[in-house]
Amino acid sequence: MRASSIPASSLRQSLRSAVAGPTSRRTFATQSRLQASYGFIGLGRMGYPMAKNLRTKIPSSDTMFIHDVNPTICEKFASEHKGVTVVEDVRAIAENVETILTVLPEPHHVQNVFQQMLRPPTLLTDAPIKQERLFIDCSTIDVRSSAEVAEATHSTGQGKFIDAPMSGGVVGASNGTLTFMMGAPPELVDRANAILSLMGKRVVHLGAQTSGLKGKLANNYLLALTNIATCEAMNMGVTWGLDAKALADMINTATGKCWPSEVNNPVPGVVPTAPASNGYEGGFGTELMLKDLKLAMQAAAEQGIIPELGIHAKDIYQAVENDAELKGRDFSVVYRYFGGKNTDKLKGLNGQ
């Protein structure tokens, strides 16, 4: 169902009727539960499969509103799922929905979307919303922007804003096995947990708002470095004449073991399911790694921390992104970067 031409008031009216109607109540053993409403903003590589899991797992009578600046993606989602209303304006979501998830690329996208949802206020006195409005931002953005959006939400009494960035990539989003790192006050943990658990297998509450992002950025800073270190170590070993698989097997039972060595090994053929064995296609793009690394370094700098290794790592990832042949591939392609730009090692990037 497309609601682009339906005025928000009509949406409210139809939802009011739906919420008030006898069919909107489901009776449980101990209590009746009102129909719940969800909004999903940003249906990209992560958001689309997350929204799919959410829509599939919530009761069919619950309502779901979706929005993306790319209308084609919304139409596709609505054609594949029942009980979805497409809106062209995020305000229509904010006016009608209790729980709103955002999965957007960069800080400025999150700021723009929240500016539209909060100014002028969208929490209407006659809205069909039955419990406090909760905004869950799953985007990986900088800590300061997230805190500013939370402050704008809280100071105007328009609901609660928490951060819940995720780890697990597109495969985890599709399989519903993401790990969420949540920054939220204790009283919202159970409510958010119940929703995020529909899209992931682990929800880790790290503390107050922004804590989820701080945890995510610390983790991805470490990942940025362990990936480069693994690429260097594997390149050394292979160049010294060691068998790549034997070397990786040894490292993975020794102290050098890490996610890039064990799961995402950068040498083609060592781990058949790793992007390296598929021409470095899919996986976690260097561009996203670079973005997260910069966000972590920015947050560190704001606390007077100099991220020594990150400075060099940033240059390496930037150089990979500047290389026309390596650009756009999984970040383990750094192995090829260390292999030398003018050698035959660069050939066969497409899985040969």
Give me the residues that bind ligand NAD (CB under 6 A), please: 41-47, 67-70, 73, 103-105, 109, 112-113, 139-140, 166, 169-170, 284, 288
Please identify the residue of the shown chain whose CB is closest to the bound ligand NAD. 44
Residue number, 85 or 139, with CB nearest to ligand NAD: 139
Q: Least distance to ligand NAD from the beta carbon of 245, Å?
A: 26
Residue number, 331 or 338, with CB nearest to ligand NAD: 331
Residue number, 45 or 345, with CB nearest to ligand NAD: 45
Q: Least distance to ligand NAD from the beta carbon of 172, Å?
A: 8
Q: Least distance to ligand NAD from the beta carbon of 303, Å?
A: 21
Catalytic residue list contains 327: no
Are β-strands 32-33 and 26-27 bridged in parallel, bridged antiparallel, or unpaired?
Answer: antiparallel
* CA–CA distance, 286 with 195 (Å, rounded to integer): 30
Residue number, 43 or 316, with CB nearest to ligand NAD: 43
Q: Least distance to ligand NAD from the beta carbon of 148, Å?
A: 16
Q: Least distance to ligand NAD from the beta carbon of 25, Å?
A: 32
Residue number, 103 or 224, with CB nearest to ligand NAD: 103
Q: Considering 216, 294, 345, 347, which one is annotated as catalytic? A: 216
Q: Least distance to ligand NAD from the beta carbon of 269, Å?
A: 23
Residue number, 127 or 293, with CB nearest to ligand NAD: 293
**Around 145, how many Cα atoms within 13 Å sit in the side-chain half-sphere?**
19
Locate 38 and state its tokens: 């969800």
Closest alpha carbon to 288 in 337, 347, 323, 332: 332
- Whether cis (ω within 30° of 0) applies to the bond prior to 260 is no
Active site residues: 216
